[in-house]
């Protein structure tokens, strides 16, 4: 297998890791006003992701860095053409991170309410725009013969891309609801589980429509298999949630997201950014790649450090594996950044 293909696969794996892990983070933030009825319950929900949310974002940083190093032409065209949506995502992630850190700095209810809103908006914007961005990459965008993006911002807001945004939003809400049900106890757990069942149904409709549309446009045999398995995993998640098996249900949405993202990369290959212009040039794993020497150095680095990162993150999830409930939250005012 050529190193360009190897790094295309590795970048796909990084995006799978990001969406499966950060996806439930976004879902928890989106559901903050829905599942939590008072400040103590909001603190419980934030505590479910408090130890892991920043670690989950590392997958995004590594995916961006790997794209820059392995496929510089892809990175340059993507970040110049999608500048505004990516900037909005970046701002949302920064504001969301600040909200986690600053929410507990003052006991004032209005202060907390403002940062809660920042968490909600900071979760909503990426949840929608990541779907819009990836849908446009799959659909193709106007790229000229010099690999320059020749469209505008509103070219990205086409029906297919908007459906992609709604699909990722619904997936993350469902994923987050099941994570809350898995990680909490008491009333919040029951509310999350009750919400997850109808949420799975809505998500299934959107996901099937989007993945079917994707398959008709650019699909391959491999992507078709991945999409069908993703749909079956989502159905399994709904059935498990209905009978109260939160662990299996969360695993179902985890697998759904992983297979859906894998299917999208299978549908994209060997392109990395197709062009819709008649005289344009699509970016592929070959013409967008860095030099062979660069890819070799990157491969050695990845082989050495990737297992260490995975082991550390796995250990983090193991340490913070227990459920939490309102009785675990002290009545005194918070002094830590995320309590």
- Is residue 212, in this structure, part of any structural domain at all? no
With contact defined as beta carbons under 8 Å apart, do 176 and 183 qualify?
A: no
Q: What's the whole-number mean pLDDT along residues 23-38?
A: 94
Q: What's the whole-number mean pLDDT along residues 150-172?
A: 92
Residue 48 belongs to domain spanning: 3-172+269-328
SS3 content of the chain, % helix, strand, coil (to 5): 75, 5, 20
- Is residue 181, in this structure, part of any structural domain at all? no
- Is residue 205, in this structure, part of any structural domain at all? no
Number of domains in the chain: 1
Q: Which helix (H) or strand (E) holds 201?
A: helix 187-218
- Is residue 311, in this structure, part of any structural domain at all? yes
- Is residue 276, in this structure, part of any structural domain at all? yes
State pLDDT tens for residues 51-84. Answer: 899 889 999 999 999 999 999 999 999 998 899 9
> Predicted confidence band at 1 (pLDDT cuts at 50, 70, 90)?
low
- Is residue 168, in this structure, part of any structural domain at all? yes
pTM above 0.85, yes or no: yes
The proportion of the chain whose per-residue pLDDT surpasses 70, expressed as a percent, equals 97
CA distance 214 to 163: 11
- Is residue 195, in this structure, part of any structural domain at all? no
CA distance 162 to 159: 5
- Is residue 298, in this structure, part of any structural domain at all? yes
279 Cβ contact list (under 8 Å, min separation 6):
144, 145
Measured CA to CA in angstroms, residue 174 lies from 69, 122, 178 at distances of 34, 17, 6
43, pLDDT greater than 80: yes
State pLDDT tens for residues 195-248. Answer: 999 999 999 999 999 999 999 988 899 999 999 999 999 999 999 999 989 999
Helices 53-70 and 83-102, interaxial angle, to 10°? 150
């Amino acid at each position: 297998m050529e190193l360009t293909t190897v790094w295309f696969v590795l970048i796909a794996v990084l995006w799978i890791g990001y969406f499966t892990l950060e996806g439930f983070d976004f879902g928890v933030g989106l559901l903050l006003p829905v599942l939590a009825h008072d400040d103590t319950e909001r603190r419980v929900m934030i505590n479910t992701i408090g130890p892991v949310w920043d670690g989950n974002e590392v997958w995004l940083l590594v995916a961006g860095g790997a794209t820059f190093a392995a496929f510089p032409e892809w990175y340059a065209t993507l970040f110049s053409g999608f500048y505004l949506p990516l900037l909005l995502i970046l701002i949302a992630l920064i504001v969301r991170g600040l909200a986690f850190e600053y929410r507990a700095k003052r006991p004032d209810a209005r202060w907390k309410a403002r940062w809660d809103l920042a968490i909600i908006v900071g979760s909503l914007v990426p949840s929608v725009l990541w779907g819009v961005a990836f849908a446009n990459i799959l659909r193709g965008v106007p790229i000229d013969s010099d690999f320059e993006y020749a469209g505008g911002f509103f070219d990205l807001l086409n029906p297919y891309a908007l459906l992609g945004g709604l699909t990722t939003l619904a997936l993350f809400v469902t994923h987050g609801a099941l994570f809350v049900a898995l990680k909490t106890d008491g009333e919040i757990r029951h509310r999350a589980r009750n919400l997850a069942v109808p949420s799975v149904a809505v998500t299934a409709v959107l996901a099937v429509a989007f993945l079917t549309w994707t398959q008709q446009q650019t699909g391959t045999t491999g992507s078709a298999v991945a999409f069908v398995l993703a749909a079956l995993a989502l159905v399994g998640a709904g059935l498990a949630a209905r009978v109260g098996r939160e662990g299996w249900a969360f695993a179902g949405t985890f697998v759904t997201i992983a297979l859906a993202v894998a299917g999208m990369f299978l549908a994209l290959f060997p392109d990395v950014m197709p062009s819709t212009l008649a005289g344009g040039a699509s970016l592929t794993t070959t013409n967008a790649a860095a030099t062979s020497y660069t890819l070799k150095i990157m491969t050695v680095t990845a082989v050495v450090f990737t297992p260490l990162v995975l082991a550390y993150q796995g250990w983090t999830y193991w340490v913070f594996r227990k459920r939490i409930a309102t009785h675990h939250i002290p009545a005194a005012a918070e002094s830590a950044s995320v309590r």
